[in-house]
Amino acid sequence: MTSPTSVNVADLREVARRRLDPVLDSYFAGGAGDERTLRDNEAAFDAYRILPRVLRGVGTRDLRTKLFGETISMPVLVSPTAFHRLAHPDGEAGCARATAAADTIMVVSMAATTAIETIAAAAAEADRPPRLWFQLYPQPDLAFTESVVRRAEAAGCGALVVTVDSPVFGRRERDLRHGFLDLPDGLCCENMRDPETGGIRSIVMDAGLDWSRIEWLRQITRLPIVLKGILHPADAALAARHGADAVLVSNHGGRQLDGVPASIDALGAVVDAVGGQLPVLLDGGIRRGTDALTALALGAVAVGVGRPVVWGLAAAGEAGVRQVLELLRADLDRAMALAGAGSPAELTPDLIRPVVRR
């Protein structure tokens, strides 16, 4: 179990730091280049302030949120992160059970160390129905990509989250210094298993990826398609034209191109660009309910958390993930009450003010 002093995500991060091998802790914590974007993702929230409303009669708050016709208990999702079994033996299966118990969505990474079928079975153990989406790096081999999509569909995934910010791997210098280049023996990317040979393929980052691949995906699946890694408003506007059903404002946790804006700083322009045609989600730097509130008020319909989930796993396995999600739920609920909002729909841009430094 976690320490009773773990009263917020930052406390769990410290527990995880103590329990993880330093090389693995560095892998999960690190970013690309000089890690400017990594730092900015959290620090950027300090440039916004909440301007609360009062006397709003918010004795009862309702955090439920609808995405693609399904209602989840709160607008906080589990963003895709790789290699959960490096953090704890419970791995992705434990994360799925915790997420299902919280009645929200887990986005399963293509680079999971547990097969999507096993993750879906674990999620189904909860009292509530499992809610899984699947994160996809489209591979140059279209037949193999389609086979992965079919596995996600058969496992009951409710959407495809297509990562579009990775034409090549970002240069993660922490990993290079520590020599962390591959998974240890006994672990592999189970969702990359070749359906014909049974062997594990490497994930290929495809610099030739373009909008035609999104159109191809739209033709082969009925699942909603979420484009993850949108920062430029022009790309957000193009998404609807090419078959996307939502966009996720993200800079890959600062792990790809260093020096891009913090996710929260890119959100407003993306929301304006889609003009209500598509839902906009966000991940990157969410550590408190007030961070989530800020993003929701600025136009996101939901936010995702990645590293906090890994820290919860490292701290206490499945129970640690449950704690992360319930800490964020309680913190968001409290922040909404104090801001005078009874539901996410009542979180509007007028509640947020940028900080003017003198």
pLDDT at residue 357 in the model: 63
Q: What is the pLDDT along the chain (358 residues), one digit of tens a residue?
A: 445 568 999 999 999 999 999 999 999 999 999 999 999 999 999 999 999 999 999 999 999 999 999 999 999 999 999 999 999 999 999 999 999 999 999 999 999 999 999 999 999 998 777 799 999 999 999 999 999 999 999 999 999 999 999 999 999 999 999 999 889 999 999 999 999 999 999 999 999 999 999 999 999 999 999 999 999 999 999 998 999 999 999 999 999 999 999 999 999 999 999 999 999 999 999 999 999 999 999 999 999 999 999 999 999 999 999 999 999 999 999 999 999 999 999 999 999 999 976 5
Round to whole Å and give the CA distance between 282 and 249: 5
**Regarding beta strands 352-354 and 48-50, do their DSSP bridges make them parallel or antiparallel, or are they unpaired?**
antiparallel
Q: For the chain, what is the HEC assignment? A: CCCCCCCCHHHHHHHHHHHCCHHHHHHHHCCCCCCHHHHHHHHHHHHEEECCCCCCCCCCCCCCEEECCEEECCCEEECCCCCHHHHCCCHHHHHHHHHHHCCCCEEECCCCCCCHHHHHHHHCCCCCCCCEEEEECCCCCHHHHHHHHHHHHHCCCCCEEEECCCCCCCCCHHHHHHCCCCCCCCCCCHHHECCCCCCECCCCCCCCCCHHHHHHHHHHCCCCEEEEEECCHHHHHHHHHCCCCEEEECCHHHCCCCCCCCHHHHHHHHHHHHCCCCCEEEECCCCCHHHHHHHHHCCCCEEEECHHHHHHHHHHHHHHHHHHHHHHHHHHHHHHHHHCCCCHHHCCHHHEEECCCC
pLDDT at residue 218 in the model: 97
Round to whole Å and give the CA distance between 24 and 251: 21
User: Is there a catalytic annotation at residue 252?
Assistant: yes
C-alpha distances out from residue 259 to 34, 75, 253, Å: 8, 28, 12
Round to whole Å and give the CA distance between 286 and 325: 12
pLDDT at residue 356 in the model: 74
Round to whole Å and give the CA distance between 133 and 227: 12
Tokens of 228: 């993850």
Cβ(307)–Cβ(284) below 8 Å: no
Q: For the whole model, what pTM was predicted?
A: 0.96
Round to whole Å and give the CA distance between 19 and 315: 7
pLDDT at residue 42 in the model: 98
- The CATH number fitting domain 9-347, selected from 3.20.20.70, 3.30.1130.10, 3.40.50.720, 3.40.50.620: 3.20.20.70
183 - beta bridge partners?
Answer: none
pLDDT at residue 59 in the model: 97
Round to whole Å and give the CA distance between 139 and 132: 21
* Residue extents of the structural domains in the chain: 9-347
